[in-house]
Structure formats: structure tokens, C-alpha cells
Amino acid sequence: MYLLLAAHPNGASLQELTQAGDPLPANPEPQLIPAAELAAVVRGLENNTPGGQAPRWIWHRTQDWYPALLGAGVELERCYDLSLCGNILAFSEFTAHTAYAKSADRTPAEDTLLPPKALLPPPPPADQGALFEDPGTNATPRFTPDELRLEYAAQQDTLAQAGTEDNRRNRLFLLLAAESAAAMIAAEMQHAGVPWREDLHEDLLAGYLGPRPAAGRRPVKLEQLAGELRGLLNAPGLNPDSPQELMRALHRSGIEVKSTRQWELKESNHPAIGPLLEYKKLSRLHSANGWAWLDAWVAGGRFRPEYVVGGVVSGRWASRGGGALQIPRQVRGAVHANPGHKLIVADASQLEPRVLVALAQDTVMAEAARDQDLYAGIAAKGFGGDRAKAKMALLGAMYGATSGEAGRLMPQLARTYPRAVDFVERAARSGEAGGTVTTRLGRSSPPPSPLWYRSQQSTTAEEQRRAESIARSRGRFTRNFVVQGSAADWAACWLAELRRRLRTIRADGAAGAELVFFLHDEVMVHAPEAAVGACIQAIEDAASAAKELLFGRIPVEFPVSVAVVDSYDNAK
């Protein structure tokens, strides 16, 4: 069953569609659901669908509807997010020949590699989130049900045209399903929140910074360091938080730096450098995760950020507010399991290099990585057992490091593992020439920027050097895009498979087993102690399933490291 949910001035419009997006002949008109009844209607349809399979909910954006449904106690099984799926279909190499893709605005913003949004109606108004409140009789929906239905039908027609070559249609179908599932997971994680002990956070801050200061004042340890810096730099009125004042004070003391970046400051042996680096570290903690952050973002023992699925062009997630994807080590001890529960922290070991092995079908490298640390296996076959050199060479290949030690190691890597190196080299050459590259499941890199196109018209020697630099930059981007993006494909499938298994665990009586955090290749599950074993099995099984979904039965391992802890700081 395919159910389209659209906004209506008096609640919501609900319409059953065929898989292709056509209205059902027997019931072609949308049904109006009053706002006060929507949660109950959705719950009933989710739990009592004929045939036993839950419906697939079709909507403009998951974030418009699902948070409010979760707040009403309604958890759904499946959805189709028109905004996320449309963005993929508009730019995928698999659908570039379709009318849907050709009608998209494919010109990136000036000097960027970020794609525009897909051709969808503009986003709903900011107050759209008040799902169960009366929107008022004068309100008009931003999208009519027919507009959303036609958009869905156009996307399904585009998917059908992806073709069967290299299993493209099925791969793209999987990506759309995984991306939509990820949108639901993001909403569910925001609803659940990361378990966070405010008292422990306060203790950690006091240990690093001193007692909580009055509003607008520096913590005592920062003030002490500021006083020390004023003396060492002979600058009695120095405000270390002002980059301009700090640079002038450094220059007056003979510290000739062009910035206050850590790596540049460390090149000086002036006695002020140590206190300055410590000040910068503690100041960053105070501003990013200090008392103001704690007051703003933690409530009821949970940290609830908003995750942005596909927020990075490669398909990686981003976050909006709270810095969810950058929980610093200093405060990880505050991420603490509830009594009777454990945190299960799992990460996919060396995910991107293993994805490269699978993409390149490099059997030599696959054999080197079997049942062991990938870098150590590579080192044993080509670098005399030097793991550090093997890691540097492989990361250099994926990120385009052609100079320094990584550049010197590249010939050895290419001789030993030619297929893997050739794969990223071809991706780089494609990008340099203005081409696109595509992830395993069908997410493609954006087209070149207007700056790239203008640079190709260069005539003078200086302009040609500039054009070559721009081309190399784009080549480095596409070189990594295809690997990082395919790793994001794998992670989305991992999440979707894990979510499905956790739902089964909860249905079997382990209430409270919930996915609460995700970061690129790492997940955190908060679970009752009695359910820990089942959750670990679910994590590992989901990783295996994700590998087979993307690559089939291949001789490449995707191991998952698992730690069962009380607090996040003990996970690694």
C-alpha cells in the first residue's frame, strides 16, 4: 500500500496510490483527515494494513511529518521522501538521459561543488511542524496532493528508465529506499536523544575550566591563561579571543606567523606558545560544549540535535545545531547509559579503504585484508611490514596526496595493488576533464562549477596554470567522492538493516533498545542489559547484509568493532 500524505488547511490529505503513482480507480480522491485525528488514523493504517505489510508513506519531507507523529507515539516502518529521492534522481548518472534529470537546474553555485536542490516545490513554511495544531481556516497548503502525486509519479517513471545495465535500476532503487529509511532514522534519533548526564558534564567542565562563571565572564582557568599570555607577550590589555589583537601581540613579540592555526604556532619555540595552545583548546571547549551549550541542548537527560540526511554532497550526514557530529573527547564521559542499560558503540573498521577494494575488485588487496587489519595486510605484501607507510600510501591514493612521503610511496602501492590505484586515478582524471563519478548505488557528483568552465577558455600561460590547478582540485574531489559516497551508501544500508532488526528486538520484549547516535561509520545503541547480546548480533548481521546489498557475495570483509560500555569515553 502506497499512501500519499500532504498538508491541508484543516489537517492532512491522505490518498492511496499505485506503486507507479496513479490514483486507485476505486478511490481516486484524497481523504481529508482532521488534524486532531491524524495520529490515530496513521497508527491504525500502520498496524492494520490488509496483507500484513505496513504501508509506504509518501511525503515531501520526512522532517515535516514524522517528528510530530513520533511525539504522538506513532512509529512507522517505511516511507518515501520526495525531496531526498528527487535530489538523487535529478543528478544521478543512471538517470541523466531522462526528462526529469534534463529539466533540473544542474549548474552549481559559483566556485563550489555543492549541487542545487532537485526540482521540487519550495519547502513548507516554518510553522509546518505544528502538525496536530489547527492551522487556521485561512491557511493554504504549500503543495496540493496532486502536485506531490505528480512529483512521485515522475520520480517512479525516472527510476524505471534507469535501465538494467549493471543492475542500475535495482541499485538506484536500493539507494532511494535506504535514503528514505535514513530520514526516518534521523527523526527517530532526534526524538530519542543521546543519553546525557548533566551532572557529569558539569563535573567535566569544572575540571577543565573551573567553576561555572557568571554570564559574560571567562571561566577562571581561561582567565588565568589569559593573564599569563598578557605577561609573556608584554600586552597588558590583550584579549586572546580577538584574532586581530592576538596577531599584533604575537608579531610584537617576534612570533612571525600568518595565522593562529595550531600547526603554524607549533613551529615557534616562544614560551607563550604553550599557554596559547592550551587557551585555544579550553576556549573551544567553553564555546562549543560549555555551560551555555548544556543549557540549550540537553533536557531531561537527553541531547536531541537535528540530523540532516544527505547534508554533504557525497551522501554523508550533517547536523543542524548542537554539533552532534563533533562530540569532543573532553565531554564524552557525560554520554552515559541509564541504570540497567548499556551503550553499544560499533564502528566499521577502515570502511573507506575496504569500500575501495570492493569497488576496484582488487583481489590482491582483498586477500591482504582478509581476517586482519587492512593496513597491516597491505604492508606485509608491499611495504616490508611497515603499517604506517601502507596506511599513508593508501589514504594518499584516496585523497590525492601526490607530494611528500605519500607521493613517494605511490609507485610501490600501484605496483602491488594496480587495480585499486587505477580505480581512483580514473575517477580523478574524469573529474579533471569535467566528468562526473558515481557511487556504487547511483549517487553522482555534481557537474563542474562555472569557474571550471571559464578556466577552460584560458589563453595566457598564467591562465592555463590556473586552469590546471582548478582541474586538479576537481580531480581530487571526484577521486574521493566515489569512495566516500559509496561508503555512505553502505552506511545507509547498514542503518536501515539495523533499524529493522532493532524493531524486531523491541517487539520481542526488549523495550528501550534504540539507535541513538550515528557518525559516518559509527553507531550507538542504548539498550537494556538483557538485550545487549541480541543488539550486538543485530549490528553485525546488519553490516553483513549491507555488504551483500551493495556488492553481493564478494571476498572482502567489512568487520565491525563493538564496545559495550557505560559511558562513551570508554568506547575507544
* Residue in 74, 318, 77 with CA at minimum distance from that of residue 180: 77
Q: Domain holding 505: CATH number?
A: 3.30.70.370
Q: Which among 192, 219, 247 is the end of a domain?
A: 192
Q: Residues 538, 465: one domain? A: no
Span 20-40, mean pLDDT?
A: 93
Judged against a pLDDT cut of 50, whether residue 129 lies above it is answered with no
In a domain, residue 327? The reply is yes
**Identity of the residue numbered 82:** L
What single-letter DSSP state applies at residue 440? T
Judged against a pLDDT cut of 60, whether residue 141 lies above it is answered with no
Q: Residues 38, 73: one domain? A: yes
Judged against a pLDDT cut of 60, whether residue 295 lies above it is answered with yes
Q: Residues 442, 507: one domain? A: no
Q: Which among 141, 165, 192 is the end of a domain?
A: 192
Calpha distance 135→10 (Å, rounded): 6
Judged against a pLDDT cut of 90, whether residue 563 lies above it is answered with yes
For residue 470 the three cell numbers come to 582548478
| Gyration radius from the chain CA atoms | 26
- Is the distance from CB of 382 to CB of 413 less than 8 angstroms? yes
CA 395 to chain centre: 20
Q: Residues 246, 317: one domain? A: no
* Residue in 340, 238, 309 with CA at minimum distance from that of residue 279: 238
Number of domains in the chain: 4
- Is the distance from CB of 317 to CB of 309 less than 8 angstroms? yes
Q: Residues 417, 510: one domain? A: no
Q: HSE-up of 527 (CA within 13 Å, CB side)?
A: 27
Q: Residues 32, 128: one domain? A: yes
Q: Which among 442, 460, 482 is the end of a domain?
A: 482
The domain of 33 spans 2-192
pLDDT > 70: what percent of the chain? 93
pLDDT tier for residue 132 given thresholds of 50, 70 and 90: very low
| pLDDT, tens only, 439-496 | 999 999 999 888 888 888 888 999 899 999 999 999 999 999 999 999 999 999 999 9
Q: Residues 184, 113: one domain? A: yes
